[in-house]
Amino acid sequence: MTMTRLISLLLAGFLALAACTDTGGSGQLGSDGKPLPKVYRIRGDASKLQFRMLDSVNALRQASGLGVVQLSPELNAAAATHARDMSVQNRPWHFGSDGSSPIDRARRAGYTGIFLGEAISETYETEVETLAAWMEEPGSRSVILDPKAIMMGFAWFQENNGKIWWALEMGS
């Protein structure tokens, strides 16, 4: 087999494979071969998103036979502080850049009830997708479905690239 013929066969094979590729606007692929996430942009009134999350959490709680929770301005403030701070630190974890714990942040924000727990996330997904992911994780699920919870705080920080840092706080 001549070199020209071998190169021609290889080129024909590559072209045939390229013709099988989906180019129907599915976007770019990540290093894992899966489509990159679409950027979810949070727009409009922040309180509407907070109340959508509150309604979703309360629906899950009621389906589990638990009482509903109400939004706490203090826990909302603690969640907002932590969401922005996680972005600054560029990592989702429960400690602030100043070493503060979730309890410390709730107290600083003026919350006088008992702090029960925190769920956090770094994602490009919607609040509903994030809540679904939290419900799949035992630790976050137990925070959201804590029978002692009567108050909730929820906030986020969205970076210019679309990444969202979510924080949900529960208290009694």
Query: For 18-65, what is each residue's pLDDT tens digit?
Result: 443 343 344 567 778 877 666 666 676 777 889 999 999 999 999 999
How many Cα atoms occupy the beta-carbon half-sphere of 21 within 13 Å? 13
pTM given for the model: 0.76
Instruction: For residues 171 and 70, give the distance between their C-alpha atoms in angstroms, rounded to a whole number.
Output: 10
Looking at domain 55-171, its CATH superfamily turns out to be CAP (3.40.33.10)
Tell me the C-alpha to C-alpha distance, in Å, between residue 49 and each of 53, 55, 67, 127, 144.
6, 10, 21, 8, 17
Residue ranges of E strands in 9-143: 70-71, 115-123
CB of 124 closer than 8 Å to CB of 163? yes
Sequence spans of domains, the chain = 55-171
User: Strand pairing partners for 105?
Assistant: none
Mean pLDDT of the chain: 84
